[in-house]
Amino acid sequence: MPALDSEDYELQLPFGPPPVLPDVQKQLKEYLLCPDRLPIHDYEHAQQFWPRESNPRSLYHCDVSSSETVLKFDRDPSTGQLLDFREVYLSDVGTTAKNSMSLTRAPGPMSEATRGSANNFPFWPGGFPEPSLQDVQLEDTDIDFDNNLLVVPPGFNCGVEFRPDNRTPVTKEAIKEEEESAKMPEEEGNEVVVNLMELLQREEDFLGLWKDEIPKKQEAPCPKVYLGKTLEIDQELDQLVPKEDIIPVLNISETATVKGPTSSQWAEVIDVSEPVRDFHQKIPDMAKTWDFELDIFQKQAILKLEEHSNVFVAAHTSAGKTVVAEYAIALSQRNKTRAVYTSPIKALSNQKYRDFKNTFGDVGLITGDFQINQTASCLIMTTEILRSMLYRGSEVCRDLEYVIFDEVHYINDSERGHVWEEVLILLPKHVSIVMLSATVPNTLEFAGWVGRTKQKKMFVISTPKRPVPLQHYLYTGSGGKSKSEMFLLLDQDGRFIDQGYAAAVAAKKSRETSFKSSYGPKNPRSQLNPKQEKTMWVGLIDHLRKEDKLPVVAFTLSRNRCDQTSESLTTVDLTTSDDKHRIRTFFQQCIQRLKEPDRLLPQVVKMQSLLMQGIGIHHSGILPILKEIVEMLFQEGKVKLLFATETFAMGVNMPARTVLFDSVRKFDGIEMRNLLPAEYIQMAGRAGRRGLDKTGTVIIICKSNVPGKLELREMMLGQPTLLQSKFRLTYSMILNLLRVQKISVEGMMSRSFKELNHQSSQGRYKKELKAVEEEMERINSAGHPVPNFDQLAEFYTSASEFLHLWSEVRGIVLTQPRAVREMIPGRILLIYHRTHANKLALLLKAEVFRREPVYKVLVLCNATSTLPGGDIQLEVVRKEPLTPDSSPREEAPSESWYKMVGFAAGKEVFVPTGIPGHEVLTITAFDVFEITHLLVKVNSSLVLDDWIKRQNPRFKDAPIGQSCLQAVQELTELTHNIGSKTKKMEFVNVTKEMQIKDASLLTKLARVNELKAQLYDFECTRIANFEQQFEEVFRSKQLEEKREYLKMMQSDKSLSLYPEYMNRVNVLQALKYVDRNNAGT
């Protein structure tokens, strides 16, 4: 048989021959090229080492903990002799950034000095009640050894419990058996007494340490000493607990007792109408001086800064608010402390950094893009950065004296406004707050919230008018001969010029008429084509240059329009040869920071070309370095025409002589709308340079048509937007606070601007609760004279639950399409409305009032219950049922009382005695008890007209109209027939005939029907003097419900964001971010 080669074997075997010897080359490759496969603990052959010598005795030693007390001595002030030593408790021993929120805790590492660490605790916020030493000692001594000892380690689902000998584990089954056997009637239970000596005896049995050490004669005094200390601490704690709120609240009702209408408990408006004559006597050595005379509002603000008070400056645009910020920074540098300046946008931060750097020198910048000189005494940053530093326990907070919030009206921003509220709440107590804002209507309200939150009064300083008045024009020109067509619309005194508006409309209309006669009809809404728009801009710029109205800021409200308009102005040149030289030199010097390829980017090249013409662009799509170049050249006066979006107006101190509006409509992400008054005023306020211009010019370009007069009047003269809370919960905030646990999320929510009214009402709630409890105590002390109190109380509970559910479902049911079709004039209803219980009603009209259905119905009544003349005044009663979520009505008898008494009357339909009277009522869906299948033919409009006519005193004795009389007769006949059971009354089955498919609504309807059946089965409602007995029960239960309501309003559950908070916590627990105790995992 011939020999076979290895290749033949490989051909015959599907996977080649099996390995016989290891592949050395493969092993070497794995050894050298895959170091991750080497054994990490086999270091004997890889390095020289010395075996470690074990020393078990070292386990006996431990580091001595820091002493919690220190000895201090008292010295005689006259002789200096030592009199006595005393031991003083040190509250912050062993505290670090990882376990304490105190300002006296040990400093962290230098790497965390500025930005902090995610593992650090924040410093204790100002305005939060700090835990006292007595509270800590009470927590240490007041321990329930039976119930309060934790047995489940953090992160575990269950733990181990032991029997009293502390050695035998207890199973879950044994625990359940003991709990069931421990359930006893209350009258047989005794008060649980904790015997500390018994507990010590159990430990003695386990450890065997104190058996021979403690004599028996010392056992008795031990519990006495402990109880004595406990009583002493309780007495001290009772003295420390204030009678009123720990946090004083603003009582709106008592505002009149405060001096003047411009002050509240936590805010005061400073009068700036009178000059400050003794300013330099009060501050002889100012921290910073200026070359010009300060305005009155600036002097008043500086006086309050010297007093270390909180200041809120709400001034017009370009009024000089920056002076206040500069003085606060100068004070901090003089005091060797630190100041933080926050702004809403990076452009403002960059500009302030340049300005403050030239003024103060030691200035740093912290934004998402730059971190410059983070150890400086003055730090400029965005508000989000400051919030992060506060949560991360930055060491900057220790030396922080002033925090300056610029553009505070940005708190109205729906996306970022909540950041301002968080920062204001989290700031430590020693930090003074300086807020700068444009003029807003509710400065006192917002300042009062800040003052209440920080427990420090806030002083409000406002300016009465702009330092440079504005004149607003409408521009209708289109270039050429019409390039100078401008019409005054609002003069410098704020008067709206109707003649100017009419002239602008006439000029625009005449030009459209001329265009139609030459070129045919034109759509008045059509936009200008590029050539027409270029001609319009060239003509307008030429007109402004001749009128000496440059420099100009043109707000276009669109980035694309900025670029397109600037690119079309290639023929415009607004600079001199000297200006061009300066621009070229400065631009090339600045872009040297960029790499060589980046200097040739299209945007860089195009920007240089535009700047050489004196034209600049500023929006979010421009590179940051180019935006800074534009800003600096604009400040120097080299840029004569700047196209910008509205972010340029957000606090950037770059005023111009003229402001142009390319359009007064903008897209806000949802819809196209007109500019709000606050937005228009903010952008128009860039016009007018203080000290250079007597007036500022604002021009609205009317390209296709002139905006409406009412729209312009509202935009120019309308009330600026109120400062409103945009506080919202975020998972980041919840996790940060749950990690600390000493500051609760509920505490943060309750101190938000959103809960200002709720917190202001806490004092009233406490007074009402005290009055209710005193009334209940008086009633309980008198006992229950009602013999059937328990049965009547059970009836009240069922009726109250029925009314609560009825108020929820009835409005929904009657708005169903089938119900709307049934509720037509002539329909017979069964109603419960105040004294009209279980009455048939004839529907006359169905309408909607405040988005709720209301019905006008005709009902019968006993003749003796009517007013003289047989007429009753028309009344409108709104639905106000008694629910746990609404305050019980104090006036008696209430709507609930009438309905409950009506339920007790049974199912019998009301039948009038004698000749019946009639009324026309306006009822709600809550009053409609049943809808019948009966329908009466009636002229409802004539019945209503007749009724309304007879409510007039002139016609009160007029006879009843024929249509109304016929309706009354038919309703009377129908009522008697049903009352005598000669006619059967069938009701509409809501569940079946309305075709309701909502599962939750069907569940509630089922419960409503069940309760309705129960209400008619109570035997206690058939007693002779039911109303007299039920009145006592009703009043007692109403007081109980009002007490629960007032307690709820003082709890965290009454906060508007509490349900959302609980939902977010459930999500975090489901995702294992927090455990069932809300502790971080």
Q: What is the pLDDT of residues 562-589, one digit of tens each?
A: 888 888 888 889 999 999 999 999 999 9
Q: What is the pLDDT of residues 306-319, one digit of tens each?
A: 999 999 999 887 78
Among 681, 701, 304, residue whose Cα is nearest residue 465: 681
Task: Tell the burial category of 556 from Cβ atoms under 10 Å away from its Cβ (0-12, 13-18, 19+).
Answer: buried
12-21, 390-399, 941-950: least confident range:
12-21
Task: Please check the confidence at residue 49 and state whether its pLDDT lies above 80.
Answer: no
Task: Please check the confidence at residue 325 and state whether its pLDDT lies above 80.
Answer: yes
Among 753, 770, 927, 751, residue whose Cα is nearest residue 833: 927
Beta bridge partners of 839: 831
Give residue 157's pLDDT band: very low, low, confident or very high (50, 70, 90): low
Q: In a 3-state reduction of DSSP, which class is residue 578?
A: helix
Q: How far is CA 559 from the centre of its chain?
A: 32
Task: Tell the burial category of 311 from Cβ atoms under 10 Å away from its Cβ (0-12, 13-18, 19+).
Answer: buried
Helix-helix angle 624-636:577-590, to 10 degrees: 150
Our CA dihedral for 920, 926, 930, 936, rounded to 10 degrees, sits at 30
Q: What is the pLDDT of residues 528-567, one digit of tens each?
A: 788 888 888 999 999 999 988 889 999 988 888 888 888 8
395 and 113 Cβ atoms separated by less than 8 Å = yes
Residue 190 pLDDT? 44
Distance CA 174, CA 935 (A): 68
Higher pLDDT, 908 or 127: 127
Buried b (16+ CB within 10 A) or exposed e, 215-240: eeeeeeeeeeeeeeeeeebeeeeeee
Angle, alpha carbons 362-365-368 (nearest 5°): 170
Among 433, 424, 436, 408, residue whose Cα is nearest residue 310: 433
Residue 365 pLDDT? 93
Task: Please check the confidence at residue 694 and state whether its pLDDT lies above 90.
Answer: no
1057 and 749 Cβ atoms separated by less than 8 Å = yes
Structure tokens at 764: 């009233």
Residue 201 pLDDT? 47
Distance CA 80, CA 975 (A): 103
Distance CA 385, CA 374 (A): 12
Q: How large is the average pLDDT for residues 665-694? A: 84
Task: Please check the confidence at residue 174 and state whether its pLDDT lies above 70.
Answer: no
Task: Please check the confidence at residue 870 and state whether its pLDDT lies above 50.
Answer: no
Within a 13 Å sphere around the CA of 880, how many CA atoms are in the beta-carbon half? 13
Among 900, 888, 883, 919, residue whose Cα is nearest residue 832: 900
Task: Please check the confidence at residue 387 and state whether its pLDDT lies above 80.
Answer: yes
DSSP class per residue in 1004-1055: HHHHHHHHHHHHTT-GGGGSTTHHHHHHHHHHHHHHHHHHHHHHHHTSGGGS
Q: What is the pLDDT of residues 457-484, one digit of tens each?
A: 999 998 888 888 899 999 988 877 888 8
44-58, 138-152, 240-254, 331-345: least confident range:
240-254
167-181, 386-400, 972-986: least confident range:
167-181
Residue 256 pLDDT? 34
Structure tokens at 954: 């002139």
Distance CA 135, CA 340 (A): 35
Q: How large is the average pLDDT for residues 433-450? A: 90
Residue 155 pLDDT? 62
466 and 317 Cβ atoms separated by less than 8 Å = yes
Task: Please check the confidence at residue 883 and state whether its pLDDT lies above 80.
Answer: no
Structure tokens at 696: 């500022």
Residue 404 pLDDT? 95
Task: Please check the confidence at residue 207 and state whether its pLDDT lies above 60.
Answer: no
Task: Please check the confidence at residue 254 and state whether its pLDDT lies above 50.
Answer: no
Structure tokens at 779: 């009633």
Higher pLDDT, 64 or 760: 760
Q: How many CB atoms lie within 10 A of CB 511?
A: 15
- Close Cβ partners of 250 (under 8 Å, ≥ 6 residues apart): 264, 265, 266, 448, 452, 756, 760
At residue 405, φ and ψ (nearest 5 deg) are -105, 110
352-366, 382-396, 508-522, 934-948: least confident range:
508-522
Beta bridge partners of 364: 379
Distance CA 777, CA 769 (A): 12
Distance CA 702, CA 845 (A): 50
Q: How large is the average pLDDT for residues 219-246? A: 36
Q: How large is the average pLDDT for residues 946-964? A: 85
DSSP class per residue in 908-966: PPP---SS-EEEEEEEEGGGEEEEEEEE----HHHHHHHHHHHTSGGGTTSPPPHHHHH
Structure tokens at 390: 């506060």
| % of the chain surpassing 70 pLDDT | 80
Identity of the amino acid at 622: I
Task: Please check the confidence at residue 243 and state whether its pLDDT lies above 50.
Answer: no
914 and 865 Cβ atoms separated by less than 8 Å = no
Residue 18 pLDDT? 62
At residue 74, φ and ψ (nearest 5 deg) are -100, 135
Give residue 35's pLDDT band: very low, low, confident or very high (50, 70, 90): low
439-443, 811-815, 905-909, 1058-1062: least confident range:
905-909
Give residue 886's pLDDT band: very low, low, confident or very high (50, 70, 90): very low
Residue 447 pLDDT? 92
Task: Please check the confidence at residue 829 and state whether its pLDDT lies above 60.
Answer: yes
Angle, alpha carbons 817-821-823 (nearest 5°): 115
Distance CA 640, CA 676 (A): 27
Give residue 245's pLDDT band: very low, low, confident or very high (50, 70, 90): very low
Q: How large is the average pLDDT for residues 1028-1044? A: 88
Q: How large is the average pLDDT for residues 123-151? A: 66
Q: Helical H runs in 690-761?
A: 709-717, 731-740, 745-750, 756-760
Q: How large is the average pLDDT for residues 829-834? A: 87
Distance CA 622, CA 157 (A): 55
Give residue 43's pLDDT band: very low, low, confident or very high (50, 70, 90): low
Q: In a 3-state reduction of DSSP, which class is residue 860?
A: strand
Domains of the chain: 136-171+193-238 (no CATH), 252-462 (3.40.50.300), 475-545+645-726 (3.40.50.300), 558-643 (3.40.50.300), 789-1027 (no CATH)
| First vs last C-alpha separation in the chain | 75
Beta bridge partners of 644: 555, 618
Sign of CA dihedral 88, 93, 97, 101: negative
Task: Please check the confidence at residue 844 and state whether its pLDDT lies above 50.
Answer: yes
Q: Could you give the C-alpha distances from 710 to 5, 496, 504, 707, in angstroms and in order? A: 103, 11, 15, 9
Structure tokens at 35: 């170091």
129-138, 473-482, 955-964: least confident range:
129-138
Distance CA 478, CA 527 (A): 12
Among 844, 855, 864, 821, residue whose Cα is nearest residue 970: 844
650 and 682 Cβ atoms separated by less than 8 Å = yes
Predicted structure pTM score: 0.73
Q: What does DSSP say about strands 161-162 and 169-170: parallel, antiparallel, or unpaired?
A: antiparallel
305 and 324 Cβ atoms separated by less than 8 Å = yes
Residue 175 pLDDT? 62
Q: How many CB atoms lie within 10 A of CB 975?
A: 21
Task: Please check the confidence at residue 817 and state whether its pLDDT lies above 70.
Answer: yes
Residue 42 pLDDT? 60
Q: What does DSSP say about strands 641-644 and 552-555: parallel, antiparallel, or unpaired?
A: parallel
Distance CA 709, CA 715 (A): 10
Residue 216 pLDDT? 41
Identity of the amino acid at 598: D
Our CA dihedral for 730, 734, 739, 744, rounded to 10 degrees, sits at 140
Distance CA 815, CA 926 (A): 12
Task: Please check the confidence at residue 616 and state whether its pLDDT lies above 50.
Answer: yes
Task: Please check the confidence at residue 1063 and state whether its pLDDT lies above 70.
Answer: yes
Residue 1024 pLDDT? 79
Q: How large is the average pLDDT for residues 214-238? A: 37
Structure tokens at 544: 């402004």
Give residue 19's pLDDT band: very low, low, confident or very high (50, 70, 90): low
Q: How large is the average pLDDT for residues 194-218? A: 44
